[in-house]
Amino acid sequence: MNEIQIQFKGDRDATGPLTWPQRRTWRGSRFKYRLVGIQPLPQGRTLQEVCDAITWAYGAFEALRTTYPSGPDGEPYQKVKMSGSAGIRLVEGREPTLEADIQAAVDAFKRERHDIETEIGVVFALMISTGVPTHLICLGSHLALDAYGYQVLRGALNDHLSGKPHVAPTSSMQPIERALTEQLPLGQEQNVQALRYWRTILEKLPTETTAHQAATMTSPALRTAASYIAMRHRASASSVCLAAVAVVAGALTKRSICSFKTMVSNRFTPEERSLVGELVQFAPGIIDSLDDSFEVIVRDTWQATLNGYKFGHYDEQALLKMIDDMNERDEEELLFDIAFNDTRSTGWENPRGYSRNLQEMTGQTVVEPRAHHYQGPSRYISVALWNLGKEDLSVNVHRGRFPGVDVQRIPLAIEALLVGVATGEPEQTKHPLSFISEYLNP
C-alpha cells in the first residue's frame, strides 16, 4: 500500500494529565483496535488539496497529534507534538466495485491495533479511484476521537475542502486545557457534586452477574416513530428510545422501576463543542413510572437523563474507588438494569415527514442475531442506537435470566411500542407495560 508523507506543525509542544473522561478510556487501551470513520470527499478535489486539508487539521486540533504514554510512576499523561510527519495511506478502488473496496479497506483497518503510547492519535487513508480521491478514511484512537469529536473533525475538514470559513479551536480549549481546568476548585466541586449524585443512584441498585446474547435491527419505522414522539413531547429521540427500552426491561423483570447508565458528551459550551478529543462519560438515572402512560414515562426518562447529564462530569478514579468500596460492602458487583448508548453521528430528529403508514413501514424492518455486543455490563439489557444505514439499534440481554425470551423479539417489541404510540394505539399509549408483557409472552 502506497503512502504520502506530510509534515505538520501546530502552535506548541505540551504535556499534561489526562482529562477525567480520558482516564476512563485509557484503561485497557494500550493496544485497542482502531476507530475507523469514512467521509465522502467533495467532488473535484485533487490529491494535493486533500493532503493540504489533512495537514491543516493536524495543526488545528492537538488531539490528532497527541500520544498517551505512561510516566515513570506508571501514571498516564498526554503529550502533544508541535511538529512531525504522518503517512497518508493510498487505497486503490475501481468504480464498479468502489463500495465493496471501501468496506474491505475499512474491515482491514479495524483489525489493526492502535498503540496509544507511541502513535499519534489519528492517521488517515485515502480511497483513490481512477486517480481521483473519493473518500477519506480516518484511523484513530478513542482517546483522540470520540463519536462527537469525529463529527467536529469531519465538519472542519468539509468546510476546509469546500472553501468555507472555519474557526479552528484556540489553545484555550484543547484537551490539556480541559484537564487543567478539572484540577481547579470549581472542577473539584463539580466532581464532589457528581459523586454525591452517583451514590444516590448506586445505593438503589441490586447486584448480579451477567451473560448476554445480542441482536441488531434496521427499522425506518423505529426512526420515524421515535422522532415523531420526541417532537410531540419536546424530548430527544434518544430519550424516547430509552423510555421504550425501560418499559421492555420492566416487562422482562416484572418491575415498574429500572435504573440506567447512559452516555453524556460533556459538551455544554461553544468551546467544548469545538473540541476534538475524548469528553464522554457515563451518567446514571432511575425511571420509576413504568406502570404509567407512555407520555409520563417519556417525561420521567427525559428528566432523569437531564439530571444524569448535570452530574456527568467527575473524576473517574474517585468514582471507581467509591464503587469499589460499595461493592466490597455488598460483596457483589453493583450493576445498572440498562446500559444505553446513543452512538449516532446523525440525528433522527426532524424526520423528513411523519407517515401514518408506520405499520406498513415495519415491513422494511430487518432483525438479525449478533455474535458480539460491546455495550454493558448491565443486569438485564444493553442497547445502542446507531447511524442511519446498516443498523439502527442493537440489544444485548441477560441470557441466564431470560432463557425463554428470543433476543430478536426484543428490538421488535421496542419498535411495536413506539409505532403504536406514534399512531395513537390506546394499549401502547396508556398501558405500555402491559402491552410489552403480552408481546414478549404471547
Q: Is residue 130 located within the same domain as residue 8?
A: yes
The confidence score (pLDDT) of residue 244 equals 96
Which of 428, 11, 419, 2 lies closest to 224, judged by CA? 419
Q: What is the share, in percent, of the chain residues with pLDDT greater than 90?
A: 43
The confidence score (pLDDT) of residue 390 equals 61
Instruction: Verify cis geometry, omega within 30 degrees of 0, for the bond prior to 377.
Output: yes
- Give the SS3 label for residue 144: coil
Residue 120 has pLDDT above 90, yes or no: yes
Which of 281, 308, 34 lies closest to 193, judged by CA? 308
Contacts of 226 (CB under 8 A, 6+ apart): 237, 240, 241, 244, 348, 418
Q: Is residue 17 located within the same domain as residue 136?
A: yes
Q: Is residue 322 located within the same domain as residue 406?
A: yes
Q: Is residue 204 located within the same domain as residue 165?
A: no
The confidence score (pLDDT) of residue 387 equals 66
Report pLDDT digits (tens) over 25-66. 887 666 577 888 888 998 889 999 999 999 999 999 999 999
Contacts of 325 (CB under 8 A, 6+ apart): none
Measuring CA to CA, how many Å separate 160 from each of 42, 65, 68, 100? Answer: 11, 19, 28, 28
Q: What is the CATH number of the domain that holds 423?
A: 3.30.559.30
Q: Is residue 45 located within the same domain as residue 173?
A: yes
In terms of Cβ atoms closer than 10 Å to its own Cβ (0-12, 13-18, 19+), residue 254 is exposed
Q: Is residue 155 located within the same domain as residue 276?
A: no
Decide which of 256 and 354 is more confident.
256
Reduced DSSP (H G I as helix, E B as strand, rest coil) percent helix, strand, coil of the chain, to 5:
45, 25, 35
User: Residue 252 in contact with residue 380, Cβ under 8 Å?
Assistant: yes
Q: Is residue 136 located within the same domain as residue 247?
A: no
Q: Is residue 247 very low, low, confident or very high in pLDDT (cuts 50, 70, 90)?
A: very high
Q: Is residue 127 located within the same domain as residue 196?
A: no
- Give the SS3 label for residue 368: strand
* Average pLDDT of every residue of the chain: 86
**Tally of residues, the chain:** 442
Number of structural domains, the chain? 2
User: Residue 138 in contact with residue 152, Cβ under 8 Å?
Assistant: no
Distance of alpha carbon 265 from alpha carbon 146, whole angstroms? 9
114, 149, 180 - which closes a domain? 180
The confidence score (pLDDT) of residue 171 equals 44
Q: Is residue 157 located within the same domain as residue 306?
A: no
Q: Is residue 214 located within the same domain as residue 175?
A: no
Residue 348 has pLDDT above 70, yes or no: no
Measuring CA to CA, how many Å separate 237 from each of 74, 298, 339, 354, 385? Answer: 42, 10, 17, 14, 10
Poorest-pLDDT segment among 77-86, 115-124, 381-390: 381-390
Structural domain containing residue 346: 188-440
Residue 197 has pLDDT above 90, yes or no: yes
The residue-averaged pLDDT of 128-141 equals 90
Residue 264 has pLDDT above 60, yes or no: yes
Report pLDDT digits (tens) over 385-419. 876 556 688 888 876 667 777 888 889 999 999 99
The confidence score (pLDDT) of residue 352 equals 54
Q: Is residue 158 located within the same domain as residue 245?
A: no
Distance of alpha carbon 392 from alpha carbon 344, whole angstroms? 9
158, 180, 202 - which closes a domain? 180
Residue 193 has pLDDT above 50, yes or no: yes
Grid coordinates representing 276 are 476534538
How many helices and strands in the chain, by DSSP H and E? 15, 17
Report pLDDT digits (tens) over 265-287. 888 888 888 888 888 899 999 99
Contacts of 384 (CB under 8 A, 6+ apart): 340, 341, 342, 343, 373, 374, 375, 393, 394
180, 206, 229 - which closes a domain? 180
Contacts of 50 (CB under 8 A, 6+ apart): 41, 126, 133, 136, 161
Q: What is the CATH number of the domain that holds 69?
A: 3.30.559.10
Grid coordinates representing 73 are 510512576
Q: Is residue 147 located within the same domain as residue 254?
A: no
For 80, other C-beta atoms within 10 Å of its C-beta total 22
Decide which of 369 and 168 is more confident.
369
User: Residue 107 in contact with residue 36, Cβ under 8 Å?
Assistant: no
